């Protein structure tokens, strides 16, 4: 077996390929990093703290690359970002303590997996519901959103109506109570530290659905914030020696390229077309973790393999849909336009 940097070439290729898939999703949606990586590492048999820490380090590095690409588009609200960082930092600390406490009790793996099932399944169902309903409540960047004419979700409208000072003025003419912003930040930070997720798949929709900022600002600010939350989280775990570079390095090599593909696709593909697939991927992710839990409970190791196959299949399905839709859009652009008057 060929060994490269202490790992087999097959394993490194697997990680790099998986990184490409995750990178496409990250570049396209501005989220979707560790919620796939950490469960995959758990399924592959890595210890919980290593899976969480390596997932965080991977998300940190990928968010650096994605944020650099968004920087020039003016889609970052730095005031909101700093507030999110403050709340998230406190949340990560509490989440990390909670994970170590659960590890001491020997139930961390189960609790993390169960929470993943609930979060992935719940958010996936919600996104799929809003996408198939065909309304304007989807979280994806739409033409209206890019023009700053986002339809305000009902929940955001309600939250913005809470006039609890100090009120913070945000990009897009949004005014939100400082305390609501900090609450969202703390909650997502708690999950970030506890589950090893960058928090993007929770925070970005939360910024849109709850805080009510326009989608492009939510994406850019979320990525900016993930740089810090992912960096802090991975640094804290790295102090305990939990970050496995033989996992992170090949994953990042793949995701950096995939992120470019995904980001380029955002200017080509109608996101409404993709939302159903993305929601389905989250649902499949929850199914995969559930299968793994059942496999552990009934001591059937084969279910770990089935679970990993479901996770990889879900990522491949959505990443493939993004690429195919992009190529189709490119070819449609190049076709001669027939006038309606003809």
Partner 1 sequence: MFGLENATGVVGAVGVIGVVLVEAMLLYVGYGALERAVGPAIVDALRGDR
Q: What Å distances lie between residue 264 and 144, 225, 239, 323, CA to CA?
A: 19, 22, 36, 10
Q: 311-330 mask for partner 1 (x: CB under 8 A)? A: ----------------x--x
Q: Which among 40-48, 119-127, 236-244, 292-300 is the span making contact with partner 1, rule CB under 8 A? A: 236-244
d(CA 50, CA 41): 8
Residues 243-262 touching partner 1, rule: CB under 8 A, are 243, 245-246, 248-249, 252-253, 256-257, 260
* Binding flags for partner 1, 173-212, as an x/- string (CB under 8 A): ----------------------------------------
Q: In the bound complex, what is the minimum distance in angstroms from residue 10's beta carbon to partner 1?
A: 17
Residue 267 binds partner 1, judged by CB under 8 A: no
CA distance linking residue 294 with residue 139, whole number of Å: 32
The reply to whether 41 sits near partner 1 by the rule CB under 8 A is: no
Residue 300 phi, psi dihedral angles, 5° rounding: -120, 90
Q: Does 239 bind partner 1 (CB under 8 A)?
A: yes
Nearer to partner 1, 64 or 167 (CB): 64
Under the criterion CB under 8 A, does residue 92 sit at the interface with partner 1? no
Give the DSSP letter of residue 2: -
Alpha-carbon span 334 to 261, nearest angstrom? 20
Q: Applying CB under 8 A, does 238 fall inside the site for partner 1?
A: yes
CA–CA distance, 277 with 322 (Å, rounded to integer): 9
Residue closer to partner 1 (CB basis): 98 or 231: 231
The H or E element containing residue 4 is strand 3-4
Q: Are 309 and 324 in contact (CB under 8 A)?
A: no
Angle at 30 between CA 113 and CA 66, to 5 degrees: 115
Is 280 an interacting residue with respect to partner 1 (CB under 8 A)?
no
Do 103 and 196 meet the contact criterion of CB atoms below 8 Å apart? no
- From 128, 130, 142, 234, residue interacting with partner 1 (rule: CB under 8 A): 234
Q: Which is nearer to partner 1, 259 or 284 (CB)?
A: 259
Nearer residue to partner 1 within complex by CB, 243 or 311: 243
Complex with partner 1: residue 57 or 156, whichever CB lies closer = 57
Q: Which of 292, 286, 251, 264 is nearest to 60 (CA)?
A: 251
What are the respective helix, strand and coil percentages of the chain, to the nearest 5? 75, 5, 20
Q: Tell me which of 1, 134, 161, 331 binds partner 1, using CB under 8 A.
A: 331
**Per CB under 8 A, 229 contacts partner 1:** no
Considering the rule CB under 8 A, would residue 22 count as an interface residue with partner 1? no
Nearer CB in complex with partner 1: 19/141: 19
Q: Does 269 bind partner 1 (CB under 8 A)?
A: no
Nearer to partner 1, 143 or 333 (CB): 333
- Least distance to partner 1, CB of residue 69, Å: 8
Least spacing, CB of residue 62 vs partner 1, in Å = 8
Which residue pairs, CB below 8 angstroms and at least 24 apart, start in 241-244?
242/49, 242/50, 242/52, 242/53, 242/54, 243/50, 243/53, 243/54, 243/56, 243/57, 244/46, 244/50, 244/53, 244/54
Question: Computed over its alpha carbons, how large is the radius of gyration of the chain?
Answer: 20
Question: Which C-beta is closer to partner 1: that of 238 or that of 276?
Answer: 238
CA 72 from chain center: how many Å?
A: 21
Under 8 Å between Cβ of 22 and 258? yes
In the bound state with partner 1, the residue whose beta carbon lies nearer, of 126 and 235, is: 235
Cβ atoms of residues 296 and 17 within 8 Å: no
Q: Which of 24, 13, 56 has the alpha carbon at shortest distance from 255?
A: 24
Binding site for partner 1 (CB under 8 A): 5-6, 57, 60-62, 64-65, 68, 231, 234-236, 238-241, 243, 245-246, 248-249, 252-253, 256-257, 260, 327, 330-331, 333-334
């Amino acid at each position: 077996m060929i060994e490269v940097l202490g790992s087999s070439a097959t394993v490194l290729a697997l990680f790099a390929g998986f990184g490409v898939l995750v990178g496409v999703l990250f570049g396209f949606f501005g989220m979707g990093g560790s919620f796939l990586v950490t469960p995959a590492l758990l399924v592959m048999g890595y210890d919980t703290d290593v899976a969480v820490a390596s997932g965080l380090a991977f998300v940190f590095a990928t968010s650096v690359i994605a944020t650099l690409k968004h920087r020039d588009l003016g889609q970052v609200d730095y005031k909101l970002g700093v507030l999110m960082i403050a709340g998230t930092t406190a949340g990560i600390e509490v989440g990390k303590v909670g994970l170590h406490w659960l590890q001491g009790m020997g139930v961390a793996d189960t609790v993390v997996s169960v929470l993943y099932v609930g979060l992935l399944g719940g958010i996936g169902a919600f996104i799929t519901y809003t996408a198939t309903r065909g309304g304007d409540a989807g979280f994806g960047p739409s033409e209206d959103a890019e023009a700053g004419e986002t339809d305000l979700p009902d929940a955001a409208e309600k939250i913005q109506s809470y006039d609890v000072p100090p009120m913070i003025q945000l990009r897009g003419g949004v005014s939100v109570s400082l305390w609501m912003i900090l609450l969202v930040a703390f909650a997502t930070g708690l999950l970030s530290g506890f589950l090893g997720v960058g928090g993007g798949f929770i925070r970005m929709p939360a910024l849109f659905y709850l805080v009510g900022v326009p989608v492009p600002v939510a994406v850019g600010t979320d990525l900016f914030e993930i740089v810090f939350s992912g960096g802090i989280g991975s640094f804290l775990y790295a102090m305990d020696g939990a970050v496995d570079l033989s996992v992170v390095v090949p994953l990042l090599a793949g995701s950096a390229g995939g992120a470019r593909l995904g980001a380029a696709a955002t200017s080509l593909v109608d996101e409404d077309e993709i939302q159903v697939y993305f929601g389905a991927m989250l649902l499949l992710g929850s199914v995969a973790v559930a299968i793994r839990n059942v496999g552990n409970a009934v001591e059937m190791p084969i279910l770990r393999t089935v679970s990993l196959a479901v996770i990889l299949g879900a990522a491949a399905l959505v990443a493939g849909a993004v690429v195919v839709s992009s190529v189709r859009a490119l070819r449609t652009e190049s076709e001669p336009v027939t006038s309606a008057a003809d």
